[in-house]
Amino acid sequence: MMLERSGDHDFGYELHEGSPVRIQWHFYGQSELPVAVQTWEIPAGGFEGMHAHTENDIPLEEIYIVIEGTGCMRVDDETFDIATGDSVLARVGTSHDLRNTGNGPLKLLVVWGNPGTADYSNFGSAKLAQAARATFSANRPA
């Protein structure tokens, strides 16, 4: 199947002793990419539950991208207020939790998998991403 519509294969799940969450694991069992691509919907007041993925467990790195809503993400000793368009990286071994702080659902795109490297440096978008990061760093107040 080349098309998967929103809600076609979603299910309820409780993550890391958190509250119930709706998840859709996109193209589960079909994509050959070495990552999981999921959309999550966390209800108002809901949370993921504090947890870590360590080298002794299953070493996973996770990227959370907010599609809709507001939340609070804790990664080790840092806390971030997040909103639509924001993204957070939880590296292997970091303790992290995500909470919905809004009145409506918090919708996210979550990509996770075993860390590794891939070389995309010859792609035009990779070159522009590198330049954008360099410009941001150069213009960042000290």
pLDDT in single tens digits along all 142 residues of the chain? 799 999 999 999 999 989 999 999 999 999 999 999 999 999 999 999 999 998 888 899 999 999 999 999 999 999 999 999 999 999 999 999 999 999 999 999 999 999 999 999 999 999 999 999 999 888 888 7
DSSP letter (8 states) at residue 131? H
For residue 30, what are its two tokens?
A: 């079909």
Q: What pLDDT sits at residue 12?
A: 96
For residue 39, what are its two tokens?
A: 């959309």
> Phi/psi of residue 49, each to 5°?
105, 130
Return d(Cα 93, Cα 137) in angstroms, integer.
26
* Cα distance from N-terminal residue to C-terminal residue, the chain: 50
State the amino acid at position 95 in one-letter form.
S
For Cα atoms 21, 69, 113, give the angle at the middle one, nearest 5 degrees. Answer: 55
